[in-house]
A and B are shown apart, each in its own frame.
Chain A
Amino acid sequence: MILMPPPDQAVLARRTQIVADLRQIVPGDGVIDTEHERRAFECDGLTAYRQLPMVVVLPSTTAQIVGVLRYCTAHNVKVVPRGAGTSLSGGALPLEDGVLLGLGKFKRILEIDTANRCVVVQPGVTNLGITHAVQGLGLYYAPDPSSQIACTIGGNVAENSGGVHCLKYGLTTNNVIGIEMVTMDGEILRLGGKHFDSGGLDLLGVMVGSEGLLGVVTEVTVRVLPPPPGARALMIGFPTVEGSADCVADIIAAGIIPGGMEIMDRLAVEAAEAFVHAGYPLEAAALLIVELDGVAVEVDHLVALVEEIAQRHGATSCRASQSEAERLLFWAGRKAAFPAVGRLSPDYYCMDGTIPRRRIGYVLARITQMEQVYGLRVANVFHAGDGNLHPLILYNANIPGELERAEEFGNDILRLCVEVGGVLTGEHGVGIEKRDLMGTMFNETDLGQQQRLKCAFDPASLLNPGKVFPQLCNCAELGRVHVHGGQTRFPELPRF
């Protein structure tokens, strides 16, 4: 069970007054007070955790956000930003004593600048909405999380979201070139813009992936690109998972960076095939999908190279798409993998660790052993190019104790990822889900440095507290005396 910081009783006692004050700042229907309406915001994509927020505020202008944050700072009220609420790590989980600040009304595309290949949007625009706005001009926004029809660019910035194509085209951080944000004390800041790089400290770089803990993003400038003129996919079956992973390693070693490269294990393949009938090889222990994109001569050239590498690694089947329809069919099973697995089990829990790819055989063998220990099944889908695992743990929440068992199983998988030289999360974020595991990757000094950075942005720790870090910190103390291993090393001297 994941515990949240105890609510501030003094704030709860003032709730009626706080709601009334917030209505002064955000008039009309922008302040949601009734329990019934607040219910809609009680969780994000990590649905096992629910908490009714104290009040929901849906501002429609940056000035209102400034007003809300100033007010909350002055009155010591916590704030949780929220986009579409698709986070899988509980980053947008409300706080009992906090304002849930929804960015849903910030839906405008502000500017399309083809000469500089960028688009300026409000944070509530969906990921796919950006591509829709520019595809008529022969451009698109590259990062493509599977949730792209629903998730917002503000949420993508906060989580540094990835997608199937990020080995070649990068994560959110590599495609966002500017933001406007508001700090907890109500200051509006612009970081980056339409130009390259930052002139001084790269504060934009650290805002991306900060999980709503450093500031509220109110405007985003993204790079848009001309889409590759064509693409073909290969569907390759292997008798062992190791065989598929070795094939991936050799494709990369041969100097090829595919647009996408995904592995599914037998259970995931079976589930997907039963659901969408993509013609997946059911006899294979692992299915590798490789997509090559670019101009036609390049794609055909690379398809031939990859076919050859696959044969060398003992592929039992290998098909290259001959038409756009067939390419999409190959992908249909992978794209439907989550809902397909959902048909095997009432509930599933999606993990997100990254490992060095060469350890995949070992890691999957260990996961299989753990399946016995926990008495739960796992289907594996895997962003193979970048080593990002998505084990889906099947469980039934109606059976008492099974959710807890699934969570413990998940934690063991993540510990294993760290043990083999990997990390806790490749794209879904720490949130509350992996918060208490941060100590497996980072020691106290590492986390202390991260928390001091938080203090530079939000000294009162009012913005999304209880997320990412296993302990709250007292910035006043961190600033005044530097504590090392529980001891004060140097009495603090005047500044500089």
Chain B
Amino acid sequence: MPRFTPQNAAEAAEIIARAAAGNQPLEIIAGASKRALGRPVASNDVLDISALRGIISYEPAELVLSVHAATPMSEIEAALSEHQQMLAFEPPDWRGLLGSGGEPTLGGVVACNQSGPRRVRAGAARDYFLGFSAINGWGESWKAGGKVVKNVTGYDMSKLQAGAFGTLSVLTEITLKVMPKPQTATTILLPSLAGEVAIALLSQALNTPYEISGAAHLPAVVARRSGVAAAAQGGAVTALRLEGHAPSVAFRVEAAEVLLGRGERLDAAQSAQFWREVGEVSPLLPAEGRVIWRLCPTPSAAPEVLQGISGAFASAEAYYDWGGGLIWLSLDAAAAGPDAGAAAVRGAMARAGGHATLIAAPAALRTAVPVFTPLPGPLEALARRVKQSFDLRGILNPGRIQEGH
């Protein structure tokens, strides 16, 4: 299988232009750590852009970072840490989840719009994506957005590229808004609540002005797998994270406990570990013999969705993040059957509103089952026209989101 390794954006554009002329689709990879995410790409040729790396500019006081797209996350994290800054959307490392190696890159994170537990308060990757340079399916280099934190000049193309899984253009340069790292964090763990009670409580907490930046509920079987001793004591845990300046966190933790009940408190280090696990889905791992779904329902409907699915599959294991707005679900692959449980999962979601994505499953299943929630006809037609407006011949990651485009 041919593999192209351009050393810069101009070479990458050249390769894509040639591929377009020859109608030869390309699979785009950077660190290849998320290659098993989405539908397998219908292509034998690989465009490996991992040489497009390095920080272009970083202005901590402007809150703006520009990098070549395949810059490793580790490099970005190190640069930001030096100035006590961070990517507020807390992108998780899914290598454990996807059973992959490779070096995660910012381009991959942005292309997959990957956000972690803080998303419930701070927003998603797309919300911090200010501008970019990219190459479309004709091999043309183009750009959109800007390198300042506030800009409405032209269509907001960044939003469209985030979460396009590389199907619209290959990102070559990325500019992000960064944020100060909170000075400290405390997590309150409330024990032994039932799912519906926990989601109602998380909703109540998110409706307070105490700036909750993590809101998860782990049922007993799942919580037991946590590496944080206080969370793994046997029962269910409902977790609330509060971050910020130390005096403020101390006050808000106390106020939240007065309102919601006393719990066990995790210090900053334990808190970091707990939420890393939540983001990385490690409480559902290892996933051998299982399929893993990611559900984004209307948050208040989450317990009902999960009840519906658990009714169909006794093997279901799951936990909630984002106050119920995210459910990580693991099913026994054999019990889930040839559709990986899609009919039951999407049936339960249909009543709640939202979408469900099949994340971890063998490639054959991810080809046979629609990985992303199928769209209603007119929307599907629009999505297809949008794809064509960037990549008429289907050169870039064809089939990754949907069969045929």
Task: Tell me which residues from 131 to 182 in chain A have a Cβ below 8 Å from any Cβ of chain B.
Answer: 138-139, 159-160, 162, 166-167, 170-171, 173-174
Q: Please give the distance in Å from A270's CB to the nearest CB on chain B.
A: 27
A-B contact count (CB 8 A): 292
Alpha-carbon distance between A255 and B252 when the two chains are bound, in angstroms: 19
Residues of A within 8 A of B251 (CB): 295-298
Of all chain B residues, the one with the shortest Cβ separation from A245 is B61
**Contact bitstring A90-103, B, C-beta under 8 A = 1, else 0:** 00000000000000
Alpha-carbon distance between A198 and B355 when the two chains are bound, in angstroms: 8
Q: Is the CB of A482 within 8 A of B392?
A: yes
Residues of A within 8 A of B203 (CB): 115-117
Q: Is the CB of B140 within 8 A of A195?
A: no
Q: Is the CB of A493 within 8 A of B64?
A: no
A380 contacts partner chain B, Cβ-Cβ < 8 Å: no
**8 Å CB contact of B61 from A249, A388, A447:** A249
Residues of B within 8 A of A394 (CB): none
Alpha-carbon distance between A457 and B83 when the two chains are bound, in angstroms: 43
Of all chain B residues, the one with the shortest Cβ separation from A173 is B156
**Contact bitstring B162-188, A, C-beta under 8 A = 1, else 0:** 111000100000000001110100000
Residues of A within 8 A of B207 (CB): 114, 117, 138-139, 226
Q: Please give the distance in Å from B296's CB to the nearest CB on chain A.
A: 5
Alpha-carbon distance between A209 and B355 when the two chains are bound, in angstroms: 24
**8 Å CB contact of A255 from B180, B325, B393:** B180
A484 contacts partner chain B, Cβ-Cβ < 8 Å: yes
Residues of B within 8 A of A493 (CB): 23, 393
Residues of A within 8 A of B183 (CB): 255
Q: Is the CB of A205 within 8 A of B159?
A: yes
**Contact bitstring B57-97, A, C-beta under 8 A = 1, else 0:** 00111111000000000000000000110000000000000
**Contact bitstring B373-405, A, C-beta under 8 A = 1, else 0:** 101001100110111111011100010011010
Task: Tell me which residues from 196 to 221 in chain B have a Cβ below 8 Å from any Cβ of chain A.
Answer: 200, 203, 206-211
Residues of B within 8 A of A357 (CB): 61-62
Alpha-carbon distance between A421 and B82 when the two chains are bound, in angstroms: 25
Q: Pick from A57-65, A342-350, A424-432 the stretch touching chain B.
A: A424-432
Q: Is the CB of A252 within 8 A of B150?
A: no
**Contact bitstring B270-305, A, C-beta under 8 A = 1, else 0:** 000000000000000000000000001111100000
Q: Is the CB of B393 within 8 A of A197?
A: no
B226 contacts partner chain A, Cβ-Cβ < 8 Å: no
Answer whether A193 and B354 are a contact pair too, CB < 8 Å, given A160-B152, A253-B61, A387-B149: yes
Task: Tell me which residues from 334 to 374 in chain B have a Cβ below 8 Å from any Cβ of chain A.
Answer: 353-357, 372-373
**8 Å CB contact of A423 from B84, B148, B325, B393:** B148
Of all chain A residues, the one with the shortest Cβ separation from B255 is A295
Q: Is the CB of B144 within 8 A of A446?
A: yes
Residues of A within 8 A of B388 (CB): 456, 479, 495
Q: Is the CB of A201 within 8 A of B154?
A: no
Q: Is the CB of B152 within 8 A of A429?
A: yes
**8 Å CB contact of A426 from B119, B138, B150, B245:** B150
Answer whether A484 and B138 are a contact pair too, CB < 8 Å, given A117-B207, A496-B394: yes
Q: Please give the distance in Å from A407's CB to the nearest CB on chain B.
A: 18
Residues of B within 8 A of A166 (CB): 150
**8 Å CB contact of B355 from A199, A208, A388:** A199
Alpha-carbon distance between A250 and B61 when the two chains are bound, in angstroms: 7
**Contact bitstring A195-227, B, C-beta under 8 A = 1, else 0:** 111111111111011100010000000000011
Q: Pick from B27-35, B121-129, B258-266 the stretch touching chain A.
A: B121-129
Q: Is the CB of A252 within 8 A of B180?
A: yes
Q: Please give the distance in Å from B73's CB to the nearest CB on chain A.
A: 20
Alpha-carbon distance between A294 and B182 when the two chains are bound, in angstroms: 14
**8 Å CB contact of B21 from A193, A226, A229, A490:** A490
Answer whether A201 and B164 are a contact pair too, CB < 8 Å, given A193-B298, A298-B244: yes
Q: Is the CB of B153 within 8 A of A424?
A: yes
Residues of A within 8 A of B322 (CB): 196
Residues of A within 8 A of B17 (CB): 489
Of all chain A residues, the one with the shortest Cβ separation from B20 is A490
B306 contacts partner chain A, Cβ-Cβ < 8 Å: no
Of all chain B residues, the one with the shortest Cβ separation from A482 is B138
Q: Please give the distance in Å from B111's CB to the nearest CB on chain A.
A: 12
**8 Å CB contact of B298 from A116, A190, A422, A425:** A116
Q: Is the CB of A257 within 8 A of B180?
A: yes
Residues of B within 8 A of A332 (CB): none
**Contact bitstring B302-345, A, C-beta under 8 A = 1, else 0:** 00000000000000000000100110000000000000000000
Residues of A within 8 A of B241 (CB): none
Of all chain B residues, the one with the shortest Cβ separation from A447 is B154
Alpha-carbon distance between A253 and B245 when the two chains are bound, in angstroms: 14
B56 contacts partner chain A, Cβ-Cβ < 8 Å: no
**8 Å CB contact of A200 from B123, B141, B247, B383:** B383
Of all chain B residues, the one with the shortest Cβ separation from A215 is B382
A228 contacts partner chain B, Cβ-Cβ < 8 Å: yes
Answer whether A210 and B155 are a contact pair too, CB < 8 Å, given A201-B163, A202-B126, A295-B255: yes
Answer whether A196 and B124 are a contact pair too, CB < 8 Å, given A189-B382, A252-B61: yes
**8 Å CB contact of B150 from A171, A206, A295, A449:** A171
Residues of A within 8 A of B119 (CB): 196
Q: Please give the distance in Å from A436's CB to the nearest CB on chain B.
A: 13
B157 contacts partner chain A, Cβ-Cβ < 8 Å: yes
Of all chain A residues, the one with the shortest Cβ separation from B147 is A421
Q: Is the CB of A294 within 8 A of B211?
A: yes
Q: Please give the distance in Å from A277's CB to the nearest CB on chain B.
A: 31
Alpha-carbon distance between A493 and B252 when the two chains are bound, in angstroms: 62
Residues of A within 8 A of B123 (CB): 170, 174
Name A residues whose Cβ lies closer than 8 Å to a Cβ of B.
113-117, 138-139, 159-160, 162, 166-167, 170-171, 173-174, 183, 187-191, 193-206, 208-210, 214, 226-229, 249-250, 252-253, 255-257, 294-298, 301-302, 354-358, 383, 386-388, 421-430, 434, 438, 441-442, 445-450, 452-457, 468, 479, 482, 484, 489-490, 492-493, 495-496
17 contacts between A and B (CB under 8 A): A160-B152, A187-B378, A194-B354, A195-B296, A199-B355, A201-B164, A201-B401, A206-B155, A253-B61, A257-B180, A302-B245, A354-B146, A441-B146, A445-B140, A446-B144, A453-B157, A453-B386
- Give the top 10 A-B pairs by smallest Cβ distance, nearest first: A205-B159, A199-B355, A298-B248, A255-B180, A195-B354, A249-B61, A456-B385, A452-B389, A386-B150, A115-B300
Q: 15 more A-B contacts (CB under 8 A) besides A199-B355, A200-B402, A456-B382?
A: A138-B207, A160-B152, A171-B150, A183-B382, A196-B326, A199-B296, A199-B354, A208-B159, A255-B183, A298-B248, A302-B245, A423-B153, A442-B144, A449-B136, A490-B20
